[in-house]
Structure 1
C-alpha cells in the first residue's frame, strides 16, 4: 500500500513538471496580450500596431530598391522573416478563442486520476519532455539571433575604433550610419544624435519580433505534442480493453469519447495554424536559399574580417533558427501521423470477435474514422512531415544554385 501511494505521488509530480510548459507558454503569450484565458487587447494593439507600421516601412524600402537585385536580396533576408511573424501574430489573434478552448481541455489531462497505469503517464509525459527541449532551444536561439541582428551595427562600429563607416567615391567622402533593419526613413541621418534616436526607437522591434516568432511556434508544438501524448495513451487503452468480461460497453464508450475529443482538438489546432504553416513553408524555402546566398557572398568578400565576422555569425544563427523551426514543425507533424496510425492499428488489433454486436458495430465506426489520420496541413496544400523537410531543402538548394548563376 505504501509503495502504491509513493508511485501515485511520483506520477503526479511528473505531471506537475510537465504542466510547467503551459506556464511558460502563458508567460510568453501574455507579453503580447495573446494568452487566450486572459487576453489583453490593449497590449496586443500597441505591439501589433508598432510591428505593422515598421513592416510597412520595410515593404516600402523593398519597392524603392526594386531595381537593385543586391539590395532586394538584403531586404528579403529580413522581409521574409518579418512577414512570417506578421502572419503568426495575426492567426493567434484571429483564433484566440479556439486555441483557448484547446488549452482548457489540455489542462484537464494533468490529473493523475485520469490515468489507469504508470505506463500511460510515462507515454504522455515523454511528449512534454520534448516540448520542454524545443521551448528552451527556441527561446535561446531567438534571443541570441534577435540580439545579434540588432547589435551588429554596434559591433561593426566598435571594430572600426568606435567610428562609423566612411566611404569615399569620386573625391566625395560619405559617412555611413548602419542601422539594424532596412526600414525606409523619411529623413536623412546626418549626425550621431539623429542616428542614436533612430537606433533607439527601433529597439522595441527586437522584443516584439522575438516574441512574435516564438509564441506561435511554442504553443503549437506544445499543443500538438499534447495531442500526440493523449493519442499514445488512447492506443494503450484500446489495446488493454478487456473483452473477456460480459460487457465491455462502458470501456468502449470511454475510448470512443476520448478519440472524438482528441479529433476535435486536432481539428481546431490544424485550422488555427494552417495559414501559419503555409507562410512558414514558403518563407523557410526562400530564407534557406537567401541566407545561403548571403553566407557564400560574405565568405567571398575581401573586406575587413572585423566587419564580416559579425555578419556571418548573424546569418548562420538566423539560418539555424529557420531550420530549427522547420524541423520542429515537421517532427510534430510526423509524430501526429505516427500516433494516429498507432490508434488505427490498435482498433484493428482489438478482439472484436469476443465483443457483443453493439460494441463490434461501434468498433467498425472507429476503424473507419481512424483511417483518416490527424495531420498538420499547410493551407490545405501539403502535410507537414519529415519528407517535407527534405523537399524544402532540395528546393532551396535548387533556387540557390540558380540565384548564384544569375547574379
Structure 2
C-alpha cells in the first residue's frame, strides 16, 4: 500500500460522530439509546412494511407497481433488520466503538509520523465516506418524495383534476383522496425519507470499524518490519509489544465479524435483488419515462457502490492480515538466538491466520468476489426475477 504524502500535522477525525447523529434520530445510537424513539421507529417501519406487502398483493400483475414496491419493501426490511441488530448488539458495539475512539486518542497508537500516516490513510477514507455517502443517499430519495407533487401540479394544469399518488407504495385502509387527508398521509410518509440515511449509517458503522482494524494491523506490520534484532532485550521487548497488540487486534476483529456477519448477509442478498430490479426497470422504461429511468440509474449506482464498499473493506482486511504474516516471516531471524526464534515461530504461526469479513460466515467479501463470483450471482438473480414477473 502506498503511503499518502502529506504534512506532519495530520488531523485524525472521528468518523463515527457523523453516524451517531443519524442513529440518534432512530434511538439506536450505541453510545446513548433512546427507547421511546427506537420503539416509534420500529413500529413505524414495521407498519410501513405490512402496508407495503398489502399494496403488493393489491397490484399483483401490474409490473411497474410491483417493481417499485419490491425495491422499497426490500430496502425497508433490510434497514429495519440492521436497526434491530445494532440495538441488540448495543453493548458489544459500544465496547468496540469506544475501543476505536480510545485508540484514536491514545498517543501510543502510532509512535511516529510514518505510523500516523498509515492510520490517516484509512481514517480519511472512513471520514469521507460518512461525510458524503448520506448526502448521495438522501438525494436519491428526495426526487421520489417530491415527484407526486410535481405530477399533481401538472395534472391540475391539464384537465383540472388532481392525481393523489403517494410518494411510496403503501396500502391505505381509508380513502385519502381528499386534500386534507392526502396532506396528512403525505407528511406521514416523510419519515420514510430517513430510511436511506439510516441505512448508510449502518453501512458506515461497518466501514469505520473494519478500516480501523485495517489501520491497526498496518501499524502492527510496520512495527514488526522495523523490530530491532541487534540485542536480545530489544527483540524481547519488541516481540512482547507486538504479541499484545496482535491479540488485541484479533479480539477486535472477532467481535466485529461476529456482530455484523448476519447484517452483511442481509445486505448482500438485498443489494443483489435491488440491483437486478433497478436494472430491469431502467431497461423497460428507458424510452418511455426518462425521468424515472434516470432516478433508477442513480439507484443502481448507489446499490452497486454498497456492494463495492463491502468488497473493498473485505479486500483490505485480507490484504493487511497477509502483510502482517509476511512481516513476521521477513524478520531477520538468522540474527536471533535459538531461544528467541521459538517465540518468533509462534508469532509467525499466528500471523498466518488470514482475517476475513464475511456474510453469514460463509461468503467472503473481496474485490475478486465483486467482479467475478458476485457478478455471475447477480446475473442469475436477474434472470430469475425477469422470468418470474408476470407479463
Whether the TM-score (by the shorter chain) exceeds 0.5 is: yes
User: What is the aligned partner in structure 2 of residue 135 from structure 1?
Assistant: 130
Structure 1: 5+ residue stretches without partners: 1-9, 167-174, 302-307
Contact 2:27 2:38 in 1 (8 A): yes
Q: CA deviation at 1:291?
A: 0.3
1:102 shift after superposition: 0.9
2:110 is equivalent to residue 115 of structure 1: yes
Cα RMSD (Å): 2.3
Matches within 5 A, 1:274-285: 274-285=261-272
- 1:340 and 2:321 correspond: yes
- Cα–Cα, structure 1 residues 67 and 106, in superposed 2: closer, same or farther, change >3 Å? same
Counterpart of 2:190 in structure 1 is 203
Does the C-alpha gap of structure 1 residues 155 and 358 become closer, same or farther in structure 2, counting only changes over 3 Å? farther
**Aligned residue in 2 for 1:304:** none
Name the count of aligned residue pairs.
Answer: 380
Counterpart in the other structure of 1:387:
368
The equivalent position to 1:47 in structure 2, one of 41, 44, 55, is 41
Shift of 1:377: 0.5
Whether the aligned pair in 1 keeps the contact of 2:45 and 2:76 (CA below 8 Å) is no
Q: Which moved more, 1:209-218 or 1:388-397?
A: 388-397
Give the corresponding residue for 2:152: 157
Which among 349, 353, 360 is matched to residue 341 of structure 2? Answer: 360
Q: Specify the alignment match of 2:4 in structure 1.
A: none
**Range that drifts further, 24-33 or 115-124:** 24-33
> For the residues of structure 1 that align with 2:310 and 2:206, how far apart are their CA atoms?
9
TM (norm. structure 2) is: 0.90
1:215 to 197, 201, 210: 201
8 A contact 2:271–2:307 mirrored in 1:
yes
Query: Do residues 263 (structure 1) and 250 (structure 2) align?
Result: yes
2:13–2:127 Cα contact (<8 Å) kept:
no
Give the alignment's TM-score, normalised by structure 1: 0.87
Q: Distance in 2 between matches of 1:165 and 1:342?
A: 68
1:300 aligns with 2:287: yes
Name 1:26's counterpart in structure 2: 20
What is the rounded CA distance, in whole Å, between the counterparts of 2:187 and 2:40 in structure 1? 17
Matched, 1:313 2:313: no
Distance in 1, Cα, partners of 2:247 & 2:327: 16
Please, which runs of 5 or more residues in structure 2 have no aligned partner? 1-6
